[in-house]
Chain A
């Protein structure tokens, strides 16, 4: 089977990740219950006539995709695989609100067309004229990992050479209210650096789009190798460390051989226990990073974790603000990521230096 390389990344997030020059140099701290992504100049990437019908999720994804393609020196790819937990929420809300407000009359086509989950993949394909395999995974907080797994298998079996994959989710006003009502979003604002110690229910929500060109051909721009990936729909908290050990063993690794562990802690006192269990047992002597306090929680936030890992492997440095413990590795060759949301859709992702 062939190796799978991450040859480039493109990102729109609430941190400076769009431009290489500013990439995670200065970490922006927030003090809110939701964190919107920073808007790049969309007109530099999308013709105005096309952009006028696109909500933020689609625009972020097209920008991230075009940046990833540009960095990989590609015009198009063999396949586009998108992961999104909630899809195009803004237009979904617009369409559903119109149904209620107008008593099921006067429904217009635009928000309906633009509200489906696979709109993002379709619009990227139109923009880059890709007529190949186009698939969208909607699987809660395993949406991005499902896209990654699909691409990994296709590339390993040489069914494709270059695949664009990505994770995207957007914030939308009414859904924020609903998530606050059920305490999935924290009731009061919390400063980014204090999120993990907030000791309250719920998370700070965010949004963003992180896209990657995956390939079975190594090139100068290659950032990392996707060594392995495993997902679980449910996992008892007592089993997390054991599953992590088994996952590493299958890759001939021991927890002590991991150079960095990237965790998806979001400050939810009810569910961060899954991460804390792992951090304080087998991996207590491994350097640990978190990122969600600075970008917010969303179903595909783990794509930012992969972005962070590839950046650490390539540059051999990491933002100090994201570090959770005091251990510092002398080198970064192997990074393990663990993510889950509200105790479901767990994933282990193993990345190696090229």
Chain B
């Protein structure tokens, strides 16, 4: 699980062009949207594509995303349970 969290942090930084951040700047429980990393709706679309491409997870219900993308911890837990690749 720790390796997956590290991988997620690296992918978030790369995919979302968070140029000034390192994986150490993102806590496992940090809020990704709102007051946390301050991600926005375009970032949410990028993360949905990332789940599909990297882990074979297709999010069909947009409401699911709110919980899944709360933090690196919630993302890692969902991926571990639902990944197909």
Contact = CB atoms under 8 A, between A and B. Distances in A.
B82 interface: no
A194 B46 CA distance: 47
Interface string B37-78: 010001001100100110000000000000000000000000
Interface string A203-226: 000000000000000000000000
Interface residues of B, number: 13
Contacts, number: 28
Given A52-B17, A52-B18, A109 B53 contact: no
Interface stretch (A100-108, A263-271, A288-296, A344-352): A100-108
Contacts of B49: 106-108
Interface in B12-55: 15-20, 38, 42, 45-46, 49, 52-53
A109 B38 contact: no
Given A49-B38, A113-B42, A106 B18 contact: no
A48 B52 CA distance: 28
Given A102-B53, A106-B52, A108-B49, A52 B16 contact: yes
Contacts of A107: 49
Contacts of A48: 19-20
Nearest to B52: A106
Interface string A104-118: 011111100100000
B19 A52 contact: yes
B53 to A, nearest CB: 4
B45 A108 contact: yes
Contacts of B20: 48
Contacts of B17: 52-53, 110
A109 B52 contact: no
Q: Which of B15, B16, B38, B49 has the most CB of A within 10 A?
A: B49
A108 B47 CA distance: 9
Contact of B42 (A51, A105, A106, A109): A109
Leading 9 A-B pairs by shortest Cβ distance? A52-B17, A106-B53, A108-B49, A109-B45, A108-B46, A106-B49, A109-B42, A52-B19, A48-B20
